[in-house]
Structure 1
Amino acid sequence: MPEPSPSPKRRGRLLRFGAACVVLSAVAGYVVVQYVSGGAGDPGCRVVSAEDSGTAYEFTPEQAVNAATIAAVGTSRDMPERAVAIALATALQESALRNLAHGDRDSLGLFQQRPSQGWGTAAQVTDPSYAAAVFYEHLAEVPDYTELALTVAAQRVQRSGYPEAYAKHEADATALAAALTGTSAATLTCEGSPQTATATGPAAVRAALLRDFGTDALREADAEDDAQDDAEGSTEEASATAETVDVPAARTSGRTVTLPVTDGAAAGRGVSQRGWQLAHWAVANASALHIERVTYAGREWTAGTTDTRWRAARSGGTEAAGAAGSAAGAGTGAVRIVTAQ
């Protein structure tokens, strides 16, 4: 005889049980994906608001590198801090600051830009420096964008189907922009735990600086070098062309890269702001470039410690002391970056 069909009440319980299993499986799958992609676990980096000590944003080393690139590209184009905050909020919403190789239809990269809509080729929009630059180009064409609400300015560029979505990232983006443009001092820290990197050492730091800032961050060091060469009667010439990575943009001694910071370094930015911009950029790239220590303005950040706060720099310096550090002004006028190799 065939088995009797389950009662309606039992069928309801079975359906609810099955639905619960589906939900739990989806949640478990999401957690696994987030863990693998870096979205779960210890985020590794943290930025605090200089205006409100209770406001903090935690993020991963991958996100830190991308945020630093977005900010560097903006400042190298003389975009104001507000523009950098708008760009960061947009990337937080569109990709969670990850350089995605997928998206809605043909959307790609940090800003989910679509090659079919004229943003560039697939290779271009997945290049963080290019993606940031083309975003700023479009933002600069928005009339009075600095006076608009952040979500309105972002939407004028992105034309998203969710025009209000950018607003929820404003506080985090504003704190990130303040740190990465250098207007707030010693507010960005990372654990600096090493990741797999294709290149390390001072040469990799110089290449990354050139990638993100172009020659903007490097030109001031050349000016400092030229002044010293003139004083010493040296005939050695310095080059700061964008065609070569081996730019004498920074003094190098062993594992230490020293970036002199001068008033003329960036339009509208004094020594302190420019210095903290470069110092925070170095910390954000610490995991990717295997940076062990960053020193600026009498403060020092050290990778791999349980407390990664900026602290008073040790007297006498470290490997940065010596010809490179002292000649370039290793005090408040220079950012000193010590690599692991």
Structure 2
Amino acid sequence: MRSTRGGITLAEEQPPRGGPRWIARGIILSLVALVGLGAWFGGRSLVLGVLGPRCQATAAGNSVDFDPEQMSNAATITAIALKRGLPARAATIALATAIQESKLRNIRYGDRDSVGLFQQRPSQGWGTVEEILDPEYSTNKFYDALVKVDDWESATITVVAQKVQRSAYPEAYADHEQEGRILASTLAGHSPRGFGCRLDDPQGEADVAMVERLLTNEYDLKAAGGDGTLTVTAPSDQFAWSIAAWSVAKAVDTGITGVTVSDRRWTRSRDSDAWTWQTTDSPAGTRQVVLHLT
């Protein structure tokens, strides 16, 4: 029994430091550490789960991000501009327009009979619903109309886009000009290493036939097959980086697992490292882009 003298417990009568109180404290601290560790892993998983796959484009110190479906459509819009020999401004106008009209989604609905990336209307002669819902077709139709606009290369985006689209809200296109510029710069290859996507693992093997078809339709280029790879030879370094960024953007559709250009490689992953291009010990050849399929 503990005794006191004058209300003070004598030192020799205090419980030993290694007694039950210290054991309990150690157990509590261990539990707190375990809970904290679990919370970190759980929080990380929750963040990854909530945010989901994402793509990011960075140019001149500014970034925009969209989900992989949106970026895949942005890549198509930009590639077709290059295929047609149009400057990056054409892609900027087209991208800003598609962001405003559909948020870069190939939707089957809209105002009255509007459908697709650019909300083009069959009743206004843009084509059938089925044709307009083909991103390659609708993008080419947009550029067909764009190049007929006087001073489209120097006039404000609001004026140019309105002449193409005949929208009820023409001033809204200017709201997305900065986004369009960043996307066009990275996807057209003017900002090397500026594009990356954080993606889930592919479901099954890469669709080689789809990659080859898209390269032909959107770039008018062909790829040479290898051991688990496809290699595309570009006409310039800028074009090579465009193909590289395009390949990353299309990875969600095609199952591409990696892309190598110059001495840099993008590797498919859910980690934020997949937003960047890492130095590789196995560089691609001059003006070549290697698409990894396994």
RMSD of aligned C-alpha atoms?
1.7
CA distance in structure 2 between the aligned counterparts of 1:124 and 1:202, rounded to whole angstroms? 24
2:282 is aligned to: 316
- Structure 1 pair 121/64, CA: closer, same or farther in 2 (3 Å)? same
| Cα drift, residue 334 of structure 1 | 0.6
Which amino acid is 1:256 matched to? Answer: T
Shift of 1:200: 3.0
Candidates 184, 207, 219, aligned match of 2:213: 207
Shift of 1:203: 2.6
Matches within 5 A, 1:174-213: 174-194=181-201, 200-213=206-219
- 1:56 alignment partner in structure 2: 63
Structure 1 length-normalised TM: 0.68
1:334 paired with 2:288, answer yes
Return the letter of the residue paired with 1:45: C
Change (3 A) 1:148 1:116: same
- Residue of structure 2 equivalent to 1:260: 233
Question: Which aligned pairs between 1:95-106 and structure 2 lie closer than 5 A?
Answer: 95-106=102-113
Alignment correspondent of 1:284: 249
Task: Find the aligned partners of 1:141 and 1:201 in 2 and give their Cα distance.
Answer: 37
| Structure 1 CA distance for aligned equivalents of residues 124 and 210 of structure 2 | 34
Whether 1:44 and 2:11 are equivalent positions in the alignment is no
* Cα pair 1:192 1:292 within 8 Å, conserved: no
- Asked if the contact 1:292/1:303 (under 8 Å) is kept, the reply is yes
Matching residue of 2:5:
none
Whole-angstrom distance in 1 between the partners of 2:290 and 2:72: 19
Structure-1 residue corresponding to 2:89 = 82
2:26: which partner in 1?
Answer: none
Contact 1:202 1:252 in 2 (8 A): no
Distance 1:316 1:284 in 2: 22
Give the whole-Å Cα distance in 2 for the aligned partners of 1:45 and 1:70.
16
For residues 300-329 of structure 1, the C-alpha deviation after alignment (integer angstroms, 9 at most, x for no partner) is 10001511111111x236xxxxxxxxxxxx
Q: Quote the residue 2:72 is aligned against.
A: 65
Matched, 1:251 2:231: no
Q: What's 1:302 paired with?
A: 267
Q: Indicate if the aligned counterparts of 2:77 and 2:94 stay in contact, CA closer than 8 A.
A: yes
The answer to whether the Cα contact below 8 Å between 1:109 and 1:126 also exists between their aligned partners in 2 is yes
Question: How far apart, in 2, do the equivalents of 1:118 and 1:250 lie?
Answer: 35
Work out which of the residue numbers 105, 110, 115 in structure 2 matches 1:108. Answer: 115
CA deviation profile, 1:129-175 (whole Å, cap 9, x unmatched): 00000000100000111111112211110110001001111111101
> 2:290 is paired with a residue of what secondary structure?
strand
CA 1:195–1:117: 2 relative to 1, 3 Å: farther
Percent identity for Structure 1 against Structure 2: 42
Cα distance in 2 between the residues matched to 1:82 and 1:141: 15
Q: Which has the larger radius of gyration?
A: 2
Q: Distance in 2 between matches of 1:62 and 1:148?
A: 30
Q: Within 5 A, what are the aligned runs for 1:234-245?
A: none
Taking the aligned partners of 1:183 and 1:291, their CA distance within structure 2 comes to 23
Structure 1 unaligned spans of 5+: 1-39, 219-248, 266-270, 318-329
C-alpha distance in 1 between matches for 2:203 and 2:217: 19
- Offset at 1:211? 2.8
CA distance in 1, matches of 2:80, 2:90: 11
For 1:67 and 1:196, the matched residues in 2 are separated by: 23
Cα offsets for 1:86-140 (capped at 9, x unmatched) = 0000000000000000011100000000000100111111100000000001000
| DSSP-derived class of the 2:257 partner | strand
3-state DSSP class of the match of 2:101? Answer: helix
Aligned pairs, how many?
A: 243
Where 1:279 maps in the other structure, the secondary structure is helix
Q: TM-score, normalised by structure 2?
A: 0.79
Asked if the contact 1:201/1:255 (under 8 Å) is kept, the reply is no
* Counterpart-to-counterpart distance in 1, 2:199 and 2:192: 19
Superposed displacement of residue 195, structure 1: 6.1
